[in-house]
Amino acid sequence: MEKLKKNERVTALVKILSDNPNHIFTLSYFSELLHAAKSTISEDISAVKKIIEQMSLGIIETIPGAQGGVRYRTEVNNKQTMEFLKDLCIKLKDSSRIIPGSFIYMSDIMYDPSYAARVGEIFASKFADKAADYVVTIETKGIIPAIMTARALNIPLVIARRDNRVTEGATISINYVSGSSHKIQTMSLSKRSLKEQSRVIVIDDFMKAGGTIKGLYDLMHEFRAEVVGTGVIVSTLEPKNKLIGEYYSLFLLKEVDNISRHIDIEIGI
């Protein structure tokens, strides 16, 4: 491999770091990969740090010590967050999204990679300091925002199932009461999915009374895991007394009026 120019090394560093958020790379790794002295790599990293942070594209952190190095951390600032949520809120207010049962159709947004990725980055920025080991959700619609959050944090995603599957092996199952329908339902998780005493972030797409998320809390308790953060895309105004305590909601849904075809939703954070 021929010797790379500074701009070529910087481009490679940006690509590698941003593709691997929260992963610590040593100077030795980059030195061998890019065929450059550690002092040169250190100067390149300083240039990358300046560019990334000036353009609010994230944070480059240097970790001192024998096990240290450099890593990229996803961060969406308040201005970027609000601009994105304002745009998304306008889309969610579209009366054509009202579907039977006074629900809002959101699948087109949830499955759009650009929107889903930004939602994950916002959640990751919110919970970056929680030192979580896993992101946890329940199938099915919570999977997309959860996997994007896990991607931005570079930690595994764990998905609770609504029924047992042979391919999951031995599982732990719990019954929980849905906060909206008050029906008893079941969720299960493979014993191999989660290490005991882990720190987890719970992510879901929608929350009304909080029964499903409370069920996830109870399931985490069976694994002796600690829930260190909870994020939902949309939560409802009613009922005001949720079954869970502190949570981070991107949007607050106040009312869906089928007669006037009006959706009253606002930014929740």
Shared-domain flag, residues 174 and 251 = yes
Q: How far is CA 119 from the centre of its chain?
A: 7
CATH of the domain at 85: 3.40.50.2020
In a domain, 111, yes or no: yes
| pLDDT for 2 beyond 80 | no
Q: Are residues 162 and 235 in the same domain?
A: yes
The whole-number pLDDT of residue 102 equals 80
Tell me, yes or no, whether 60 and 162 share the same domain. Answer: no
CA distances from 168 to 123, 192, 219, 223 (A): 28, 8, 16, 16
Task: Quote the CA–CA distance of 200 and 203 in Å, as a whole number.
Answer: 10
The Cα 263–Cα 104 span in angstroms is: 8
Number of domains in the chain: 2
Domain for residue 253, yes or no? yes
Burial 79-113 (b: 16+ CB within 10 A, else e): ebbeebbeebbeebeeeebbeeeeebebeebbeee
Are residue 86 and residue 188 in the same domain, yes or no?
yes
What is the per-residue pLDDT for 182? Answer: 75
Task: Tell whether 82 is covered by a domain.
Answer: yes
**Based on the domain organization, do 231 and 250 belong to the same domain?**
yes
- Residues 107 and 158 both lie in one domain: yes
Q: What is the pLDDT of residues 70-94, one digit of tens each?
A: 999 999 999 999 999 999 999 999 9
Query: Does residue 41 share a domain with residue 95?
Result: no
Range of the domain at 124: 78-267
- CA quadruple 211, 212, 214, 219: dihedral sign: positive
Whether 1 is covered by a domain: the verdict is no
Evaluate whether residue 204 is within a structural domain: yes
Q: In the predicted model, is pLDDT for residue 179 greater than 70?
A: no
Give the model's pLDDT for residue 180: 64
Task: Write the CATH number for 35.
Answer: 1.10.10.10
Average pLDDT over residues 179-198: 87
Looking at the domain assignment, is residue 107 inside a domain? yes
Same domain, 53 and 94: no
Residues 64 and 143 reside in one and the same domain: no
Residues 129 and 145 in one domain: yes
Region 175-179: what's the mean pLDDT? 81
Residues 53, 106 share a domain: no
Of 21, 45, 73, the position where a domain reaches its end is 73
